[in-house]
Amino acid sequence: MAYFAHKDFFGDTGLYEFVQQVMSGELTLSWYHPGTEPARCRPASAVRGLTYADCNVGTYGYDGIPEFVRGRNSMAARGSLLWGALPDIGYTVNRKSDVWSDNVVALYEEAKTRRWTPAIDIPWATLADAARPPALEAATAQLCTTLEEMALVAMEAPGRWVYLINQEFLEVKSFLCGQMLDEARHVEVFRKRALTGGQGLKRASAPVEQALRELLAAETYPQASLGINVVLGSLQLAIYRHLAAIADSTADRRIFGFSMQDAARTVAYGCGALRYHLAAQPHQARALCERLLETEHTIVGLLGSPELSEPLIILSGGGLESEHRLRGAARVRRWLRRTVEELFARLRHAGLGSYPQESRLPACFANALAA
C-alpha cells in the first residue's frame, strides 16, 4: 500500500453524525446547484448513434481543452465541478498537443464498430482440414511467431502511457484502450494460427525483439507514438496487407485482412498525432527527426531478421524450390521498396519532411533491393 486515507473513519464520530443526519431525511443537497453547463446532446445521425463528436459541446467538448491542462490532476470528468480536496493522481502527460489527433474521436468510434472475435470470426475448421505443403505451413508458423512477438509489444506500448495521460484527454485514452484490445486480438489470432497448422510455434527473434525493445522504451509520449504507431504500425500494416494479398485460404485472408484494418487505425492515429504535435510545437521537429535517425536501424533489425524475411520470401514465392525462392525474393524486394516509400511519405505528410533526406535507410535499401 502506498496511499492511505487521511483518517481512520471507523473512529470518526463526525461521520456517524453526518450519516445519521442524511439518513434521517435531512439532505444537504450540496451537489444540487453545481453551476455546470446544462447539456442535452443528441445524435446527429440516428444510424450512427451518439458519438463523442455529438458530445463536443461547450465545457464538455474536446475542442475546448486548453493546450496546457493546469489544475485538473484528478479523475474528475471533464466539465464537472471540481471542489474539495481532490487528490493529484500523478499524470505526467498534460499537454494537448503531445497526445491529440484530430481524427482520434472518429477512430475510436471506428474501433468499436469494427470489432471482431478471433475465436469465431475465423473459419478455423477449414484450416484444420486443408492439406498444405509443409514448407508453406512452417513459414506461416514462423511468421505468426514473429507477429505475435510484435503484437505483444504493440499491446504493451499504449498501456505504458494510458495511466500517465491526463483524464481530460478522455477520447485519446479511450482510443488507446481500443488499441490495446486490437493488439490483444492480434496476439491471440497469430498464436492460434500457428498452433492450428501442425507446426506449432517456431523461433523467437533476437533482432526483432531488440528492435522492439528500443522502440518501446521511448522517454516521451510523442516519441513513443512516433516509434510504435507510425514506424512499427506502418511495418505491421504493410506485412498484414502483403499477407492478405498472397493468402491461399479464406481463413488466412480474413486473419490478415482484419488485422490490417486495426493496424490502419493505429497508423492513422499516429500520423494525426504527429501532425498535430508538430503544428503546435514546430521546434520539436528536429528532436523527433533525431529520434528517428537514432532508431531507424530498428527498421532494418525488424525487416532483416531471418525469422521475418525468410518466411516472407517462401510465402511470397509459393514454396521452397529455387524458382519459388527467387520469385519470392523479387516480390519481397518490391514490397520492401513500397513499405519504406510509404513510411517516408507518411512522415513527410505529417511534417517530418527533413527526415527522409537525412536518413541512412535509402542507401541501405538501395543495396538491399538491387536485384
Partner 1 sequence: MAYLSTTNFLDDEAYLDRWQYTLRTGELDLSWMNAATERIACRPQSPRRGLTFRDLDVGSYGFSAMPEIIRDNRSFAPRGAAMPDGLPDAQADVNLKSEVWAYNVEGYYEEAMSRQWNATTDIAWAELAEIELPEAIGKAYAQLLTFLTEVEMIATDVPAKWLGRLNADFFEVKNFIATQAMDEARHAEVFRKRALTTGYGLMCASPHNENNLKFLRDGDSFAEVSLGLHLQAEGMVLTLFRFSEFISPTDADKKLFRLVMQDEARHVGYGMQHLKWVLDHFPEKRDAIHRYLDEAENFVFGAGYCAEVTEPFIILAGKGLAQEHIAEGIRITQRFQLKQIEEYFERLAKCGLPERRERSKLARARELMQAALDTPAAG
Residue 141 or 275: the one with the smaller Cβ distance to partner 1 is: 141
Whole-number Å distance between alpha carbons of 354 and 116: 39
Do 103 and 269 contact (CB within 8 A), yes or no?
yes
Cell triple for residue 106?
Answer: 472518429
Only segment of 24-32, 239-247, 274-282, 349-357 that touches partner 1 (CB under 8 A):
24-32
Residue 217 or 279: the one with the smaller Cβ distance to partner 1 is: 217
Residues of span 315-334 touching partner 1 by CB under 8 A: 317, 322, 325-329, 332-333
Residues 6+ apart with CB under 8 A from 67: 95, 96, 97, 280
> Binding mask 186-225 vs partner 1 (x if CB under 8 A, - otherwise)?
-xx--xx--xxxxxxxxxxxxx-xxxxxx-xxxx------
Residues 6+ apart with CB under 8 A from 250: 123, 126
C-beta of 99: minimal distance to partner 1 in Å? 14
Give, in order, the Cα–Cα distances in Å from 60 to each of 50, 56, 57, 79, 168. Answer: 15, 6, 6, 5, 10
Whole-number Å distance between alpha carbons of 136 and 197: 10
Residue 275 or 331: the one with the smaller Cβ distance to partner 1 is: 331
Taking alpha carbons only, the member of 281, 289, 304, 290 closest to residue 211 is 304
Residue 113 or 283: the one with the smaller Cβ distance to partner 1 is: 113
Only segment of 72-80, 92-100, 267-275, 339-347 that touches partner 1 (CB under 8 A):
72-80
Residues of span 83-102 touching partner 1 by CB under 8 A: 83-87, 89
Residues 119, 121, 125, 127, CA torsion sign: negative
For partner 1, the binding residue among 9, 67, 287, 349 (CB under 8 A) is 9
* HSE-up (13 A, CA, CB side) for residue 87: 8
For partner 1, the binding residue among 37, 67, 102, 358 (CB under 8 A) is 37
C-beta of 272: minimal distance to partner 1 in Å? 19
Residues of span 101-160 touching partner 1 by CB under 8 A: 109, 112-113, 115, 117-122, 124-125, 128, 135, 138, 142, 145, 148-149, 152-153, 155-160
Grid look-up 537525412 returns 358
Cell triple for residue 257?
Answer: 485482412
Do 209 and 189 contact (CB within 8 A), yes or no?
no
For partner 1, the binding residue among 76, 245, 247, 280 (CB under 8 A) is 76
The verdict on 71 binding partner 1 (CB under 8 A) reads no
Residues of span 228-257 touching partner 1 by CB under 8 A: none
C-beta of 22: minimal distance to partner 1 in Å? 6
User: Max Cα separation, the chain?
Assistant: 87
